[in-house]
Structure 1
């Protein structure tokens, strides 16, 4: 019978896949679009809010700049999309920006990009899920005040869905993503139709006056005004997040991989900017008022509306305005928006594990992150992402306004380094390419990447200037922390590899002149007799049984019974005045090694094999501590002699039915309980 934990795992994750089925997990474009584009598309739900929030600081006059800021975001978006279409063709292996920077600039540049993307993926999950939790709290009053706990539950649900595999999670999430796309585009089309027909009403908030939060004495043309505009642009640039995920996920596409990835990139860019522009245009046409501090900035007849006023997001206000006579459509738009904000995190759940796997393959992250799980997904990376994102959510209490200040920096570091790397890539290939058509194509690509470098570098500077004091420095510290730790991990792996490598002067070590066997005895029972039999079968040079005299009466009784049974092996009793077990045994083994330095010492430990996890709590674990100490003694081996208790019957069959990855990682079933005393 399978264990309870294994049964639960199968219900949540599903049955394991054979390695040969990896090709079946590849995604067609119709599934790849919602899987990899959900992050960029979801920004449509909050990027307009951030633009209007920032501009509201200067009052209603600043709203006239929102179309120009949207236009600037559109230019950057299409430039980045065009640049990344070059990337997926040149580097289709899935390394994305990390591979581009490493190959063309150097390992440190690649690590910089890797650390920036890892942090950005974590923040994507934290920001998206927190935003979705706030939408849910607005619709379900009982969740108010518990947004962080609800966000944690959502992250765990996303983690479980992704552990089932990329194709399954993608198919499950595709429908709500498409519903969001069609509902927002449908709202935009119907809004413009009503505009042309002269029936487009004003938004409910249009009747409010908007007071400036800060007095910009020099106006928007002053230094402070220019800084405000740049800050609004940097907030709107959040619409570009998620574009890089496709370049990291090229291996997940069906063949032809690069072509399908490039097509998906173009669809993503077109849909994202279309929805962003439509929302900002309709927000201005319906005269929506959206303030950073609505209680004091929004005025009704010159009086602040106060804390009782609940300010709905821009998409919510637009849906209520455009569909004022069709409430069903309003609920569809708002529900789809809340769902897409949560599903935006799915992009990170697809990008982070792949990137972490590549970094682990190169020795910069623990090797476990390169292992595929039962469903052929990088399970350890998925779990790691979920845990770190939950940490951020709890630390910032799921407050989007605080988390979003940490956002975007990582992705624009990645954009800028990637464009630099691609320029060097084309320059290097132009030196050896002789075909005129190919050279012309490479020059065009280099121009595209050069424009991309200029724009993304400018946006990066703007983001750093406008968001650094708002909390972005935390993201930078996190990137530095990840960068330094990846360097240390690589140094460790390199050091271990160098130490274990067989050099030209390496020779097989001489065989030991003898074998000294030590059988640990706590009491005379079946496991002890089996250990003695196994040790005798090995025909050692010397065989001795050793017990530790913790309680003199028990020790004397054991010696007496030993003699009565006539066991033909000498029993050595180690004194332990301080009731220790580990130290006397280790000292005894050290003494043997000192007396016979050229001999091998084998310590036999009787081991109980139990079938239930709770049984391990009922047995002494002193053998575990002893084995841990003996591992550091040269010339010493520890041999476990298992004795299967009745509760372990059938465990072997369960292990055989378990997925190979489970057994390899040692996570199946209960750990054995060893006992000396």
Structure 2
């Protein structure tokens, strides 16, 4: 049975890799980008939908603000990317937000951030895979009854690929991620060229009217209108999820680790910003209309469309309009967009194990999580993440709408506290550095982080207010539970350390209380007698010949 289990493990995971080959498993920038960017880039795929759906509550005129909201989101993205580029240089060990906050704000705040990130990584896998499975169920209706089983199977496949090592998993996901970026890029370029030449068509939903929800007949007026704009802004900030993963994955980069991580982060931020602005612009140019409930929120000639109408996502509607004369490109864009949602979960499979290993090293989680497996991946962390994601998928029946309410909260808790920690870091450094050029750079960095605190802190407040009763309380409850458990684990390790500590180094000889000696003897002869004599010289409590 044991031989069978070992053969199965080798078939799935592969042969063990010697520890001295660790450098060969490190990621170059071309592989690190798809490994760590898929989460953030997939978020850009559905962030425009969230912005348009939120604004549509107040009617069609309100959706005209979507480009300005996209610009505000990009502004926050720029600040966050700039902040994390400094983080990967100042704290390259892979602790990311946890290390920044623990060092500058104390262990209690660090544990709060760690709890938020651990929960958010698990939710990233659950949300991304459930959303990707929904695309599959929409395309192949016969899959719908088995949606949960398919989602669990996808998560299991991702776990197995990551157990084989980060280089192998990165190579497996590089092609689809680059294909997604190329397909969206081709759609954007083609759409902009058609707009410039006057040949850009109108989306199918452009012919429908948006019905404002009750109480919003006056549009975005008063405090309620301002609050709705903030809600749309916070929904658009979903595009920022996944940016922090690179700061937690610096140890996975090839040397020079910090420089390569910072470069990859800059590439990620630039691509995400361009994609978000381009998609929002083309959505307005093609007249895409999105509402929360299309059956009643959209009308044609004054009549509701009814339950038979299926509302395609923003990217799908833009692709159908831009490539109306070339259907293969439309299918390619929609297919790779659905695929990238599934692959987004791979970012968590790289970030969660590294963070868990740092917490295990600091004795806030079991030490086994800090150890690498046969393939030099943090196998125990991968397995824990797999179990957590499967629990959420099964518990919420792979319902993306329910899971998304639990999402984002942890990200902005870590964003805000991390940037508060960086402000304190630069303040402390300024007190000791005398070089004028260095002080100027540090002051500039502190200003960037201070702006980041204000921006992400505002988003955090809005997210908590708008999502607390819709499911965010579940996330906060799990975070609190993890916080308490990690504190208990830390106290356990401290108590064990005190019990085994040497009280007096001058009297450190500790003799065993009982010694049972065993002498192996085939028969009684001189060698046996010598062995018995040697055993007796150790003054055993008992002696036995076998």
TM-score range, shorter chain: over 0.9
Give structure 1 regions of 4+ aligned residues with deviation exceeding 3 angstroms.
505-517, 536-541, 599-602
Residue 296 of structure 2 corresponds to which residue in structure 1? 296
2:269 corresponds to = 269
Q: How does 1:127-526 map to 2 (within 5 A)?
A: 127-216=127-216, 219-504=219-504, 508-509=509-510, 512=513
Instruction: Give the Cα separation in 2 of the matches to 1:302 and 1:322.
Output: 28
Q: How far does residue 430 in structure 1 lie from its aligned partner after superposition? A: 1.2
* Contact 1:53-1:291 at 8 Å conserved across structures: yes
Q: Deviations over 1:254-307 (max 9, x none)?
A: 111111111111110110011111111111111112111111111122111111
Match runs of 1:83-98 below 5 Å: 83-98=83-98
Contact between 1:514 and 1:540, CA under 8 Å: does it hold in 2?
Answer: no
- Determine if contact 2:122/2:389 at 8 Å carries over to the other structure: yes
The alignment partner of 1:299 has SS state of strand
Larger Cα Rg: Structure 1 or Structure 2?
Answer: 1
1:120-174 CA-partner distances (Å, limit 9, x unpaired): 1011111111110001111111112322221111100100110111111001100
Secondary structure at 1:16's aligned position in 2? coil
Higher percent of residues as helix: 2
CA distance in 2, matches of 1:67, 1:116: 30
Find the aligned partners of 2:515 and 2:34 in 1 and give their Cα distance.
66
Aligned-pair CA distance for 1:3: 2.3
Contact kept? 2:44, 2:238, Cα under 8 Å: no
Structure 1's 515 and 154: CA in aligned 2 closer, same or farther, altered over 3 A? closer
Q: Distance in 2 between matches of 1:265 and 1:510?
A: 57
SS of 1:153 mapped into structure 2: helix
The residue that corresponds to 2:7 in the other structure is: 7
Q: Give the deviation of 1:83 after TM superposition.
A: 0.7
Separation in 1, partners of 2:153, 2:512:
58
Change (3 A) 1:538 1:93: farther
8 Å CA contact 2:127, 2:403 repeated in 1:
yes
Q: Tell me, yes or no, if the aligned pair for 1:412 and 1:457 is still in contact at 8 Å.
A: yes
1:34 and 1:173 in contact (8 A); partners too? yes
> Within 1, Cα distance between the matches of 2:512 and 2:333?
76
Q: CA distance change for structure 1 residues 341 and 600 in 2, over 3 Å: closer, same or farther?
A: farther
- The 5 Å alignment of 1:564-579 reads none
- Cα separation, 2, equivalents of 1:378 and 1:538: 50
SS in 1 for 2:299: strand
Q: CA deviation at 1:438?
A: 1.2
Alpha-carbon distance change, 230 to 509 in structure 1, aligned in 2, over 3 angstroms: same
Q: 1:373 to 1:516 in 2, by over 3 A?
A: closer
User: What's the secondary structure of 1:3's corresponding residue?
Assistant: helix
- Secondary structure of the structure 1 residue equivalent to 2:94: coil
Distance 1:514 1:189 in 2: 80
Deviations 1:496-518 (A, max 9, x none): 1111111117654566588699x
Question: What is the CA distance between 1:539 and its match in structure 2?
Answer: 11
The one-character-per-residue Cα deviations of 1:450-481 (angstroms, maximum 9, x if unpaired) are: 11111111111111112112211111111111
Question: Per the alignment, do residues 102 and 225 of structure 1 end up closer, same or farther by CA in structure 2, a change over 3 Å counting?
Answer: same
What corresponds to 2:74 in structure 1? Answer: 74
Give the 3 Å change call, closer, same or farther, for CA 385–513 of structure 1 in structure 2.
Answer: closer
Task: Give the secondary-structure state (helix, strand or coil) at the position aligned to 1:481.
Answer: helix
Q: Distance in 1 between matches of 2:306 and 2:457?
A: 41
The Cα of 1:435 is off from its aligned counterpart by 1.4
Q: Mind listing any 5+ residue stretches in structure 2 that lack a counterpart?
A: 519-527
Q: Identify the residue that residue 572 of structure 1 maps to in structure 2.
A: none
Q: Distance in 2 between matches of 1:325 and 1:300?
A: 25
Q: Which residue of 2 aligns with 1:35?
A: 35
Q: Distance in 1 between matches of 2:269 and 2:192?
A: 22
For 2:94 and 2:324, how far apart are their aligned partners in 1? 46
Contact kept, 8 Å, 1:227 with 1:466, in 2: the verdict is no
Aligned residue for 2:244, secondary structure, equals: helix
User: Contact (CA 8 Å) 2:94, 2:249: kept in 1 or not?
Assistant: yes
Looking at structure 2, the residues matched to 414 and 32 of structure 1 have their Cα atoms a distance apart, in angstroms, of 22
Which residue in the other structure is 2:65 paired with? Answer: 65
Deviation per CA, 1:347-388, whole angstroms, max 9, x where unpaired?
100000000000000000011111101110000100100110
For 1:607, the equivalent position in structure 2 comes to none
Q: With CA pairs under 8 Å and 6+ residues apart, which has the higher RCO, 1 or 2?
A: 2
Give the superposition deviation at 1:56: 2.0
SS state at 2:145 partner: coil
Q: Which deviates the most, 221-230 or 362-371?
A: 221-230
Supply the distance in 1 between the matched residues of 2:280 and 2:424 (Cα, whole angstroms): 37
How far apart, CA to CA, are the structure 1 residues paired with 2:431 and 2:291? Answer: 55
Residues 535-594 of structure 1: CA deviation (Å, up to 9, x unaligned): x989999xxxxxxxxxxxxxxxxxxxxxxxxxxxxxxxxxxxxxxxxxxxxxxxxxxxxx
Contact 1:29 1:253 in 2 (8 A): yes
| Offset of residue 46 of structure 1 | 1.0
Structure 1 CA distance for aligned equivalents of residues 188 and 221 of structure 2: 32
Q: Say which SS state the counterpart of residue 178 (structure 1) adopts.
A: helix
Cα–Cα, structure 1 residues 500 and 330, in superposed 2: closer, same or farther, change >3 Å? same
